[in-house]
A and B are shown apart, each in its own frame.
Chain A
């Protein structure tokens, strides 16, 4: 069974400082990894994904994430955080991108990011 862990419930960072949101995963095969952001009372917004290729993935709003197979991690990073980055961030994993029975996206518990001015 696949699983995702986000060890931090909340991350506090000062505006302008680097932001890191941690994620580790467990799958039986090759992972397909995703990061989403959610603002209050809103749906999920896609930030970036890793399917294959370069381990460093660049996404929306200046975010990037690095796939580390040996550590089974996919941490989200932003070099300089903005107050507007304050939101709830979800890491997710699936084992396949092929439409098939049992192919589901599993979410981590979420990490609340608070960027203080």
Chain B
């Protein structure tokens, strides 16, 4: 099956600093990447959709200047949380949308736990 990696898996940062989360597809190419956020004991909420080489589309209520998404290649997408605050503490999950021979599939990364102190 498809392998998706996220780095780091855990990160603790101080309020006001920025954190970059990398999402890599290891054995396939993804033209579309979804980024989700999950608060404790809650469901996944879509933050943004990005297509390789173009700007991301953000969901309502998600600050595009705070959550910077870069999808520069078909195997790497990054989410940067800028000027992080404690309320940004969450579990962030990337999700590549992939075209296969038999159709399309959506996979999920293992997630990154961000704690802002």
Q: Do A and B bind each other?
A: yes
Interface, chain A (partner B; CB < 8 A): 36, 41-46, 90, 97-99, 104-105, 107-110, 112
Interface size class, chain B: 20 to 34
- The SS class assigned to the A binding surface is loop
Contact A42 B110, CB 8 Å, known A97-B103, A99-B104, A104-B49: yes
Min CB distance A82 to B, Å, is 22
Give the residue name and chain of the A residue nearest to B49 (CB): A104
Q: Does B28 contact A (CB under 8 A)?
A: no
Residue of A whose beta carbon sits closest to that of B94: A43
Complex Cα spacing A41 to B112, Å = 8
Which residues of B sit under 8 angstroms from A107, Cβ to Cβ? 43-44
Give the number of residue pairs across the A-B interface with Cβ within 8 Å.
45
CB atoms of B108 and A43 under 8 A apart:
yes
Determine whether the beta carbon of B91 is less than 8 Å from that of A41.
yes
B104 touches A41 (CB 8 A): no
Contact (Cβ within 8 A) B99 A108: no
How many Å from the CB of B26 to the closest CB on chain A? 14
Once the chains bind, are A109 and B108 in contact (CB under 8 Å)?
no
Residues from chain A with a CB closer than 8 A to the CB of B6 are 43
**Residues of B with C-beta under 8 A to A43:** 4, 6, 93, 108-111
**A74 to chain B: closest CB distance in Å?**
16
Q: Are B110 and A109 in contact (CB under 8 A)?
A: no
Q: State whether B108 touches A99 (Cβ < 8 A).
A: no
What residues of chain A lie closer than 8 Å to B43, measured between beta carbons? 90, 107-110
Decide: A99 and B32 in contact? CB cutoff 8 A: yes
Say how far B73's CB is from chain A's closest CB, in angstroms. Answer: 18
A42→B6 CA distance, assembly (Å):
11
